[in-house]
Amino acid sequence: MTMTLELQGRLLGLGSIVRLENDRASGLFVVLARGAFRPEMERPEVEPRYLVAPHPYGESPDQETFPILAGDVEEIVFEGYSDSADEAFLADLLDQMENGPRQISRAQQFTGPLTELPEASAPDAEDSDAVEPGVDPFAELRRLTEQDHRRDER
């Protein structure tokens, strides 16, 4: 006997912003990916599951991403975009959970950084604005100020 799986609640759109307040996390988080969790195999209910990252950072090398269940969401602050493609995604997801995975071709994973940050370098010797280490960049200004001050005292 096969039972049709039923999503409990609704699946949030990608980019949704949710508030979490629990022992593991507190604050605003952005939904990066979605799925479903079936807590009991003998029952047809499945719960929305999300991969989230802290707002405003999103997927960042120094920020943790982690999965949550819909029940972990304290508040939906902003709901991301959804359309008929999301409905098709959900139907396909539930079908695979019920009938097993279909044959797929693996997507190539992006491994490079989204933003290139240049290495910090020492100023060029030809750069006339460069300040040598240990030299006071305001020494000339202080000298001129002291001269003006002495002239005013005379």
Structural domains of the chain, with CATH: 6-99 (2.40.10)
| 133: three-class secondary structure by DSSP | coil
Query: Which tokens belong to 61?
Result: 């090398």
pLDDT digits over 95-141, tens only? 888 888 888 888 888 777 777 777 877 666 565 566 566 677 777 77
Is the CB of residue 13 less than 8 Å from the CB of residue 30?
no
Q: pTM of this prediction?
A: 0.67
d(CA 154, CA 151): 5
